[in-house]
Amino acid sequence: MSATRVQPNIGPNLRQISHIVVVASGKGGVGKSTTAVNLALALHRQGARVGLFDADIYGPSQPLMLGVTGRRPQIVNGNQMVPITAHGIKCNSVGFLVDDNQAMVWRGPMVVGAFNQILNDTLWGELDYLIIDMPPGTGDIQLSLAQSVPVTGAVIVTTPQDVALLDAKRGIEMFRKVQVPILGVVENMGLHICSQCGHSEHIFGEGGADRIAHAYDVEVLGSLPLDGKIRAQCDAGTPAVAAEPNSKVSQIYGQIALRISAQLAGIGKPGSDMPSISVSDD
């Protein structure tokens, strides 16, 4: 499979966004959505105008993590949605539009259509960053989404265990095939420190993100510990950066945000071209 670049047809609601950053993972359960929401909040705390689009159509989690479940975007001009504002960032998600218990039994074209409609019909306004929480995996949906969105760069989330690292490699390869720059790798659950005795242990392995970064010549943006408080804070609707902005975990997310913004300072606005995917023998 290879990719060439074509001119995109950017909708009017995306034209005032400076950078679109996708947060992706090769598999579920590695903390992708937790990374996306805390990255968005960290960028906001650093003075940026930030939006967060929950593109995980099958398992939207951002309404819960931001503490705004049960809300509905205001509809204006017939079909335009005003994003929900939570903790200072603008957010939209299919989770705002369907019942919490409703299963999204959709085929690929329906998912891509819903993704494009929600993204393009949301009145994002002027943003420095739009963070997109992508669905897990590297299948046809991810390729279609990468093709339809003017992406500035991708952040790959993984854990140190070998099966997650293998899927992370596939994620990097996928974005490289469609010519989306890889901004770096975020490692979750890197180190566990016992709250009772202080013993530290690499439960899921050690050094995996460093090996991937070296192999693909990308940056390790940060490594987060295995800490139950991170999960609990998201479940409570106040992610770590919002709940404890001066904590060690929030500082790590802040460093990740700074590293990403430093990279993007040298990259122009998204949308100069888009990937057109074709199949070849390479």
> Domain range holding 89?
19-265
Q: What is the pLDDT of residues 182-236, one digit of tens each?
A: 999 999 877 656 666 655 555 555 666 788 888 888 899 999 988 889 999 999 9
Start-end of H helices in 150-200: 162-177
Decide the pairing of beta strands 50-54 and 74-76.
unpaired
- Does any domain span residue 157? yes
Per DSSP, what are the bridge partners of residue 182? Answer: 154
**For position 259, which CATH number holds?**
3.40.50.300
- Does any domain span residue 211? yes
pLDDT at position 272 is 46
- Does any domain span residue 14? no
Rounded distance between C-alpha atoms, residue 28 and residue 24, angstroms: 10
- Does any domain span residue 282? no
- Rg of the chain over Cα atoms, rounded to whole angstroms, equals 18
Angle between the N-to-C axes of helices 228-235 and 32-45, in degrees from 0 to 180, rounded to the nearest 10: 80
Q: How many domains does the chain have?
A: 1
- Does any domain span residue 270? no
- Does any domain span residue 184? yes
Amino acid at 146: A
Rounded distance between C-alpha atoms, residue 187 and residue 11, angstroms: 34
- Does any domain span residue 154? yes
Give residue 243's pLDDT band: very low, low, confident or very high (50, 70, 90).
Answer: very high
The average confidence (pLDDT) of the chain is 83
- Does any domain span residue 182? yes
CB 261 within 8 A of CB 228: no
Q: CB neighbours of 230 closer than 8 A, spacing ≥ 6?
A: 31, 34, 224, 240, 249
